[in-house]
Amino acid sequence: MASAGRRKNCKKYNSLKFLQSTGAFPPVNGRRIGEKTARSGGFFYAAMRWNETCFLWRRPASEAMGAMKKEERFMKANRVGKVLCLVLGLLMIAGCGSSAPASSAAVSSAAVTDGQAAQGGTPQDQLTIGVQLDVDTLDPHNSTLTASIRLQPLLFETLIVKDENQQIVPCLATEWEWISDTELQFKLRQGVKFHDGTEMKASDVKFSIDRAAATARHSARYDDLQEIIVNDDYTVTFVTKKPSAKLLDMLSEVLFGGAIIPEAHANAVGDSIATEAVGTGPYRLVEWAAGEQLVVEKNPDYWGEPGVAQTITYRVISEDTSRIIALETGEIDIAETIPSTDIARISDNANLSLYQIPGMVVTYWGFNTQKAPFNDLKVRQAMNYAIDRDSVAIAATNNDGQAAKTVLGMGMEAYYDGMEGFEYNPEKAKALLAEAGYPNGFATNIYVKSTDSNTMLASQVIQANLKEIGVDLTINSLESTALMASLAEGEHDTYILTASNPDVYNGLIFFYSQTGARTGNRMFYNNPEFDTLYEQVLTELDATKRAELLKQIQELLVEDCPWCPLYGQNFNVGAQKSVSGIVLDPLGFHDYSRAYVTK
């Protein structure tokens, strides 16, 4: 088995002959205007053309209808001119290129390459990846940055993982069953070694999950866990306080504290575990130079399919332009987090390839509901009416995304595509502000990540929208660590972040009153009605009943609006043409264990 949690959703095709055979339509003015779909084996296949590039897009049938909504364009006829002027100004400020790939684009909406040497050469030992952010810790149970967690699957693994269809499959455990409504038993894979040479046992599993559940970051996620019983060296049983619909999801993701680490090592190194990572993954730690690079090497004792590159180096290049230049000059082999404004720059380069996958994420504008004026529902409603989400999505993603209507990302369980949401209505916003006692508006702030050009652009559109209703918005841009610290302390009025939503339980935990700001409730939202519905979702094992509860939750959050969902977008990765084996992930946890360079 390959490393944990990797999903293969799409495959790349650059053949016009293939496209013609599907009957897909030609482009008009460089835009995709049609697609040919078919259903086979539980999947929808969509062949599409964007300029001279062809795609075959495969999605599970259960997700396809929501995913196909991406084809809907954003601009409403009565504000096309206004939107275009605003976006053009913002893109000029950002030094952006054109919005669509040119006709020579080598673009892949694929999650995985064909796995063959790109030029028929010999795979090289070294692979270098440029990343936007450094890790904050190598302790898999205490990281607060998504950037850290994205690097960790090469080092750490979980008992189970999700496959390309979001179904649970074995990893460090070979089988599992609910032996009662509150007892989940796992049989462990035997002979698995940690990077320090010791064998993984059931006692390590108990130690790891107990440790995760005791952290501030994950305690709310494991609040229904009563105890973990070690039955023998290779059998472990999780006992819950009540039926738990979320436990398998928690245990399948490093993101949610599911990583298994050696008890003896953790106890021996104490706090130094933050820099001395030991797991079971296909690669092991060689070096972490904070702020500069992290180096891993192939694990010679790996139990599953070994990695390809002997050494993988993650170089921290925070500034987007510098990271792209490093890719263009050959200093790095792969560049993560390609801004939507630079898609054409990568696509137009004959030496580079662009890989894309629709992200199961939502970028949102959150309100600090414990502070005036955002403790007033009418003010929060006014903010939602004041924002032109279509304009925000266009500017922030360079037309590489879609305006969001609800808290859940497209493709997630029970995503409610029929949600009406708030329409853009500045006059309604002004009226609500007057009713709330702010007829002349007010001054407020928005906290954003300084290294994220997309959210910076989004904040500028929001600033312009709010000015129209008399609200003076100050943009405070902070580097990632400082931003998260400020939000945890509640210093903000509002903020923009992107929520990764692998399942509904974690997609909604941000609104649960028992969740602290460090774990995600940076809106300081407290609504007993939401809490009751959320707690019912956590214990409801019937899929139909759970779907109805989730619909009610989405409707409630639109009515109470503690946040404003802004947009969803693709994950974009650039690579040298000589790179093969990239596996993209809809949460951004891309797998490079099978990636390599040929010379």
Per-residue tokens: 494? 């509002």
d(CA 281, CA 592): 12
Beta bridge partner(s), residue 386: none
Contact 238, 247 (CB under 8 A): yes
Determine the pLDDT at residue 245. Answer: 86
Task: For residues 548-565, give the mean pLDDT.
Answer: 92
pLDDT over 70 for what percent of the chain? 77
pLDDT band at 28 (very low <50, low <70, confident <90, very high): very low
> Which helix (DSSP H) or strand (DSSP E) does residue 236 occupy?
strand 235-240
pLDDT band at 46 (very low <50, low <70, confident <90, very high): very low
Task: For residues 538-557, give the mean pLDDT.
Answer: 87
Torsion angle, CA of 339/345/346/350, rounded to 10 degrees? 180
On the question of pLDDT at 389 being above 50, the answer is yes
pLDDT-wise least confident of 22-31, 136-145, 415-424: 22-31
Task: For residues 331-336, give the mean pLDDT.
Answer: 98
Q: Model confidence over 403-418: pLDDT tens digits?
A: 888 777 666 666 666 6
Task: For residues 44-55, give the mean pLDDT.
Answer: 34
CB-based contacts of 21: which residues, under 8 Å, 6+ apart? none
Maximum average pLDDT range among 68-82, 151-165, 406-420, 520-534: 520-534
Burial 41-61 (b: 16+ CB within 10 A, else e): eebbbbbbbbbbbbbbbbbbe
The domain segmentation of the chain, as residue ranges, is 87-96+359-570, 146-274
β-pair type (443-449, 472-478): parallel
How many Cβ atoms from other residues are within 10 Å of residue 322's Cβ?
A: 12
On the question of pLDDT at 19 being above 50, the answer is no
d(CA 540, CA 529): 17
Q: Is the dihedral of CA 251, 256, 262, 264 positive or negative?
A: negative
Beta bridge partner(s), residue 363: 498, 567
On the question of pLDDT at 33 being above 70, the answer is no
Per-residue tokens: 259? 């990583």
Tokens 């269809």 -> residue: 165
Contact 469, 502 (CB under 8 A): no
Task: For residues 130-154, give the mean pLDDT.
Answer: 85
Beta bridge partner(s), residue 364: 497, 565
Cα dist. 315→183, 292, 415, 595 in Å? 43, 6, 36, 16
Q: Mean of the per-residue pLDDT values for the chain?
A: 80
Identify the residue with better confidence: 16 or 448: 448
Burial 470-493 (b: 16+ CB within 10 A, else e): bbebeebbbebeebbebbbeeebb
pLDDT band at 76 (very low <50, low <70, confident <90, very high): very low
Task: For residues 116-136, give the mean pLDDT.
Answer: 81
Q: What is the pTM of this model?
A: 0.67
Fold of the domain spanning 146-274: Dipeptide-binding Protein; domain 1 (3.90.76)
Q: Which CATH class is domain 87-96+359-570?
A: alpha beta
